[in-house]
């Protein structure tokens, strides 16, 4: 779980140390509920511009809210793990014994080669395999027009009813889908779609807040987006890693569906409650 805070793919790989195959699968399937480095910038950005602002104590309140979202992700990990252990992955819990290995002098060369170069290049290579075609697809959707609008606009319009149902909109859902290769590009894709630009542009926090407000964002939209950022499908690298670790198509598919279903249900409940209370 802790390794997932850096990268969920690394967290999946770290599950190798679990001896029980059943418990290893549970850990793999629930690893994505822990926010990785790709999601932290988006979480911090949306919390800052919609809930805390830039006042003197905003950093403290931002940290509190971010901690709350992290704790929610950890809570969902425990809840889903419990559900899986009682249904799909029933079994007898294994005992946990931690044996301390004999101390050996660190070998700097091997540490750098295996832990940095080998693993880093291994993960980056997998990311490039999916990121390059995905980047081409995003460019095509944003720059090719039909019926007076870009393909990206048609795509977001198609997703808009589902997005509204979940407290978001079609642009947000399209950004999550097109951001499948890497969570870092979800907000830039939103900016590109809202700006009707054919390429990514850079905005400061004030400009980003104005752009989102002008496109109908409220605090409910921001909250649902934050929740979906916390609970949606893993990135492409994590999915590929799960496939390699499990040697199966079934478990990557479940790793995709479980957090997505949780995220959609929670966003629907929050959006429905907001509509019932008349705050949207």
DSSP string, 72-113: HHHHHHHHHHHHHHHTTT--PPPP---PPPPP----HHHHII
pLDDT reported for residue 200: 62
Is residue 213 in some structural domain? yes
CA-CA distance, 71 to 63, in Å (whole number)? Answer: 12
Would you say residue 8 lies in a domain?
yes
Q: Is 120 among the domain residues? A: no
pLDDT value at residue 13: 87
Measured distance CA(67)–CA(240) in Å, rounded: 29
Q: Does position 80 have pLDDT exceeding 60, yes or no?
A: yes
pLDDT greater at residue 18 or residue 155: 155
How far, CA to CA in Å, does 174 sit from each of 17, 54, 171, 178?
Answer: 37, 29, 5, 6
How much is the pLDDT for 113? 73
Query: What pLDDT is attached to residue 131?
Result: 66
pLDDT at 16: 84
Beta-carbon count within 10 A of 2 CB: 8
pLDDT at position 83 over 70 = yes
Q: How many domains does the chain have?
A: 1
121-154 b/e (C-beta count within 10 Å ≥ 16 → b) = eebeebbeebbeebeeebeebbeeeeeeebbbbe
pLDDT at site 264: 95
| Least confident residue range of 128-137, 152-161, 232-241 | 128-137
Identify the pLDDT of residue 55: 61
**Domain-embedded: residue 54:** yes
Half-sphere exposure of 169 (CA within 13 A, CB side): 16
- Whether 68 is in a domain gets the answer yes
Read off the pLDDT band of 173 (50, 70, 90).
very high
118-134 pLDDT per residue, tens: 666 766 676 676 667 77
- Look at residue 103 and tell me if it is in a domain: no
Distance CA 226, CA 263 (A): 10
What is the average per-residue pLDDT within 18-22? 85
Portion of the chain with pLDDT greater than 90, in percent: 36
Phi then psi for residue 150, to 5 deg, are -70, 160
pLDDT exceeds cutoff 60 at 56:
no
Give me 237's structure tokens. 């690298």
CA–CA gap between residue 147 and residue 177 (Å, rounded): 23
- Looking at residue 149, the DSSP 8-state letter turns out to be E
Alpha-carbon distance of 88 to 192, in angstroms, equals 41
Q: What is the pTM of this model?
A: 0.84
Per-residue confidence (pLDDT) for residue 227, from 0 to 100: 95
Domain housing 30: 3-91+128-277
d(CA 236, CA 130): 7
Tokens representing residue 10 in the block: 């690394």
pLDDT band, very low/low/confident/very high, at 2 (cuts 50, 70, 90): confident
110 occurs within a structural domain: no
pLDDT of residue 253: 94
In a domain, 106, yes or no: no
Going by pLDDT thresholds of 50, 70 and 90, the confidence category of residue 274 is very high
Quick one: pLDDT at residue 214?
Answer: 92
């Amino acid at each position: 779980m802790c390794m997932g805070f850096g990268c969920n793919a690394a967290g999946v790989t770290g599950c190798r140390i679990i001896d029980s195959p059943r418990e290893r699968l549970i850990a793999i399937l629930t690893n994505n509920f822990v926010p990785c480095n790709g999601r932290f910038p988006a979480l911090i950005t949306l919390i800052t511009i919609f809930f805390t602002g830039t006042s003197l104590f905003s950093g403290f309140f931002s940290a509190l809210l971010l901690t709350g979202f992290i704790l929610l992700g950890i809570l969902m990990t425990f809840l889903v793990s419990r559900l899986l252990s009682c249904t799909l992955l029933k079994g007898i819990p294994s005992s946990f014994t931690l044996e301390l290995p004999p101390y050996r002098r660190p070998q700097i060369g091997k540490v750098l080669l295996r832990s940095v170069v080998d693993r880093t290049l291994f993960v980056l290579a997998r990311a490039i395999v999916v990121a390059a075609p995905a980047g081409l697809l995003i460019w095509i959707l944003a720059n090719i027009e039909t019926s007076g609008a870009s393909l990206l606009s048609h795509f977001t319009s198609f997703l808009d009813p589902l997005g509204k149902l979940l407290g978001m909109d079609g642009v947000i859902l399209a950004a999550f889908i097109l951001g499948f290769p890497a969570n870092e590009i979800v907000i830039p894709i939103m900016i590109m779609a809202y700006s009707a630009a054919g390429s990514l542009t850079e905005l400061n926090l004030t400009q980003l807040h104005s752009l989102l407000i002008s496109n109908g964002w409220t605090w409910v939209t921001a909250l649902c987006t934050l929740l979906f950022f916390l609970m949606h499908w893993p990135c492409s690298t994590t999915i590929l890693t799960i496939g390699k670790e499990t040697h199966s198509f079934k478990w990557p598919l479940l790793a995709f569906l479980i957090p997505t279903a949780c995220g959609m249900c929670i966003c629907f409940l929050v959006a429905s409650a907001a509509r019932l209370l008349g705050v949207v």
